[in-house]
Structure 1
Amino acid sequence: MEFIITKEIMFNYFSGHASALQKKLIAESLADPKNLEIYYAYLEEWEKCQPQFLPDLPAAFTKNLERIHSTEQQPRRLRKGAAIHPLHVLTSLLAIRVAACILVLGLTGYFFRDHIIYENYETAYGELRSFTLSDSSSVVLNSNSTLRVPRFTFAVWSREVRLSGEAEFHVRRRGDKLRFVVHTPGNNTVTVLGTEFSVYSRNNKTDVTLNKGKVELASVNSPEPTVMKPGEKGSFAPDGSIHIHALSPGELSSQTAWKEQRFAFNHTTLTEIAVQIRDVFGTDIRINDPSLASRQLTGTFKAQTADDLLEVLKEMLGIEVIKVKKQVHLIPKPTNTN
């Protein structure tokens, strides 16, 4: 019989009144991500009803270190011949154990607070994932990507998310003033108001392609927003500057070819293709021949696996693909001397 997490059981668990069997069943059920979401929802509701003291763990830890290394006040020494009462020993040991448990639980919550605060949408290599956020905006997440969404405040206080990888967003327009904001590594931001756009953020590179509506791009070194128009692509340079250029209909379509598991190349070098294979499929490609690495390929090719795309490269570029352990080496095809 499947164990069902009820509010009553979880509230007893948070209060420390759950039985040993209930604790065991709860721990087993939390292996399912679906139950993990229920757990956090009940935890938020319980904490609102039971305000807790939140210690400043880093400050307390620093203070105790100072006490340990301080020589101003030495602990009192036991008077010679004085007796040690067993109850005092047990009390001291119990206090130490309780303090240790509190410290461990506190540090665990401190280091895993991001998982509590954010709901993480993730994809593995070669995987695509579509989902709808609580504000009715939809997202398609490309392979090897992560979208972090505030678990309790999204669409309540703000609509800000954090992306690492690549995704397409269809943002739902709202009547309030909560703009949709995408943060990417490097402190770049994409601010949106009712639009369709895609964001690529990998390898210290961030590109934004706008299909419909309006977006504003900003970075630390370029805080003044740069406005994009539909059909344009915006790129963040390493120095924080923002560059906008118009795309042809074909170029615009190729920006989201990955949603159909297609790879669109336009005079793309083999080195750049190797990077795409690594990002999407996690395959380590090695090209030791400089002339081969600079060869280019143009066209759109469907590939569900790294092997599918490697077969295309073999046929189109006439190269050899050699697999050595976890690496794939691309080499020029030997010429026939006969």
Structure 2
Amino acid sequence: MEQFDQSLLHKFQLNQCTPEEYERVLEWFTTPAGREYLDSVMTQDLDMAKPDIMMSSSQSDQLYQRILDTTGQEPLRYSRSRWFTGFKVAAVLSGTLLLAYGGWRVYNRHRNTVIQTAYGEVRTVVLPDQSEVTLNGNSTLRYANNWEGTGDREVWIEGEAFFSVKPSAVPRSFQVHTASKMNVEVLGTTFNLVDRHGHMQVVLNSGKVRLHSNRTPAETITMQPGDLVEYKEQVRTKVKNHTDTQRYSSWKRNSLQFENASFAELSQLLEDTYGVTVEIKDTSLLHQEFTGTVPSQQMEMLLDGLSQLFHLKVSHVDNTVIIERKTN
């Protein structure tokens, strides 16, 4: 039998797969090896089954065929009697094929919309509950198309985004999952979130959020308006109160505000948001701090603003930005 990722199968059985992982497992179930695996697990379930869970053959066959139709498989052939098939279906319904059917339904329900912004692009997305997410350049937002029911509203973010979350008519939390394995739980609020290179930053403008880390031991932080929390590789590095929240989301207003920022931080921001390579000729600039505001609508306008504000020579050659001190 073809070997498959056993850890992924285990996650599938525990209903812990992402939609992409569900799709991968369900596709494997349609292969001969996947069908053989299901057959073997079904047989094991049958051996452990008790007569009191047995159902009528007609009902069993209908449910069995429904599951097979859902997962796109051909019926499995058995040489045993019809009552055995009905009994086996009962085991299936409490075992792996039911997980496959449930997994398909979870995957279908969570079929995702994925939106990715280009370098330098700012885009606002309206979610199914009318909450709004404004994406900065080089950022990715993923969310399920169907938010019906009473389950959590969930989105996945990589990059930088500003969230304006609508309160739900029924008690439903809003969950933001990040690549840094940090989760933000929201009830109704506005906040800016950055998650790049294992570094995550949340600045809360209004409302209340709770941050949940997946590290051991787990940590939960409840943020109030004006708070800033940063994590690096899931380790909390900074907590600030009464922060100027508008500065962190200034990119939404086509400007960048810096306060005691280093040119090393500026270099990383330009590379992440605009997709350029930054060369700083004078390394003494890397640790020099500066404060100021520059326009960010267009790359050339941004570079010109940096040049004038900090009395530097800033040039853009191909996809490289060169920053150096002026000689006069």
Flag whether TM exceeds 0.5 (same fold): yes
1:238 CA displacement: 2.4
**Residue 213 of structure 1: CA displacement?**
1.2
**CA 1:59/1:153 → structure 2, altered by over 3 Å: closer, same or farther?**
farther
| 1:97-151 Cα deviation digits (max 9, x unpaired) | xxxxx9xxxxxxx9xx89x821012211111111211112111111111110012
SS of the residue 1:223 aligns to: coil
Q: What do residues 237-294 of structure 1 show as CA deviations (whole Å, max 9, x unaligned)?
A: 325336421134xx21101101011101112112211211122211211114211222
Tell me if structure 2 keeps the 8 A contact 1:277–1:306: no
Higher relative contact order, structure no. (Cα contacts within 8 Å, ≥ 6 residues apart): 2
Q: How many residues align?
A: 234
TM-superposed CA distance for 1:331, in Å, is: 2.1
Distance in 2, matches of 1:154 and 1:299, equals 45
Give the TM-score taking structure 2 as reference length.
Answer: 0.64
Of 192, 202, 212, the residue aligned with 2:206 is: 212
Write out per-residue CA displacement over residues 137-188 of structure 1, whole angstroms, 9 at most, x where no aligned residue. Answer: 1111111111100123566533111000111111111233321000111210
For residues 167-182 of structure 1, the aligned pairs below 5 Å read: 167-182=161-176
User: Is 2:253 aligned against 1:260?
Assistant: yes
Aligned with 1:285 (options 244, 266, 278): 278
SS of the aligned residue for 1:136 comes to coil
1:47-126 superposed matches below 5 A:
56=29, 60=33, 117-126=111-120
Structure 2 residue aligned with 1:139: 133
Partner of 1:319 in structure 2?
A: 312
Instruction: State the SS of the aligned residue for 2:235.
Output: coil
| Residue equivalent to 2:63 | none
What RMSD over aligned residues (CA atoms) do the two structures have, in Å? Answer: 2.8
Question: Which stretch has the larger CA shift, 173-182 or 326-335?
Answer: 326-335
2-structure distance, mates of 1:146, 1:278: 16
5+ residue gaps, structure 2, are: 1-25, 38-72, 74-103
User: In structure 2, how many angstroms separate the alpha carbons of the residues matched to 1:139 and 1:239?
Assistant: 24
Aligned to 2:232: 237
Q: Is the 8 A contact 2:212 2:218 kept in 1?
A: yes
SS in 1 for 2:137: coil
Q: Structure 1, unaligned stretches of length 5 or more?
A: 1-52, 65-101, 103-109
Does residue 192 (structure 1) correspond to residue 192 (structure 2)? The answer is: no
Amino acid in structure 2 at the alignment position of 1:264: Q
Residue in 2 that maps onto 1:302: 295
2:264 aligned with 1:271: yes
1:254 alignment partner, SS class: helix
Separation in structure 1 between the aligned mates of residue 32 and residue 182 of structure 2, nearest angstrom: 31
In 2: Cα distance, 1:163 partner to 1:288 partner: 34
- Work out the CA distance in 1 between the residues paired with 2:297 and 2:149: 35
Q: Is the 8 A contact 2:295 2:305 kept in 1?
A: no
- Going from structure 1 to structure 2, the CA distance change for 1:155 and 1:140 (only over 3 Å counts) comes to farther
**Conserved? CA contact 1:283–1:327, under 8 Å:** yes
Bigger radius of gyration, 1 or 2?
A: 1
In the alignment, what sits opposite 2:143? Answer: 149
Following the alignment from structure 2 to structure 1, what is the Cα–Cα distance between the partners of residues 179 and 148?
20
The one of 155, 160, 173 equivalent to 1:161 is 155
Q: Give the counterpart letter for 1:237 in structure 2.
A: K
Distance (whole Å) between structure 1 residues aligned to residue 143 and residue 235 of structure 2: 25
Q: Which amino acid aligns with 1:257?
A: S
Cα deviation 1:8-36 (Å, max 9, x = unaligned): xxxxxxxxxxxxxxxxxxxxxxxxxxxxx
Identity percentage over the alignment? 30
Does the CA-based 8 Å contact 1:154-1:160 persist in structure 2? Answer: no
Q: Which residue of 2 aligns with 1:10?
A: none
* CA pair 62-312 structure 1, distance change in 2 beyond 3 A: farther
Tell me what 1:13 maps to: none
Q: CA 1:258 to 1:154, structure 2 compared with 1: closer, same or farther past 3 Å?
A: farther
Deviation, 1:224, is 3.5
Indicate conservation of the 8 Å contact 1:228/1:244, yes or no.
Answer: no
Once the two structures are TM-superposed, the CA of residue 325 in structure 1 deviates from its matched residue by 3.6
Q: Secondary structure at the match of 1:191?
A: strand
Q: Is the 8 A contact 1:219 1:241 kept in 2?
A: no
Structure-2 change in CA distance of 1:174 and 1:321 (3 Å)? closer
Counterpart CA distance in 1 for 2:238 and 2:261 is 20
Change (3 A) 1:154 1:282: farther
Whole-angstrom CA distance in 2 between matches of 1:239 and 1:279: 20
SS at match of 2:113: strand
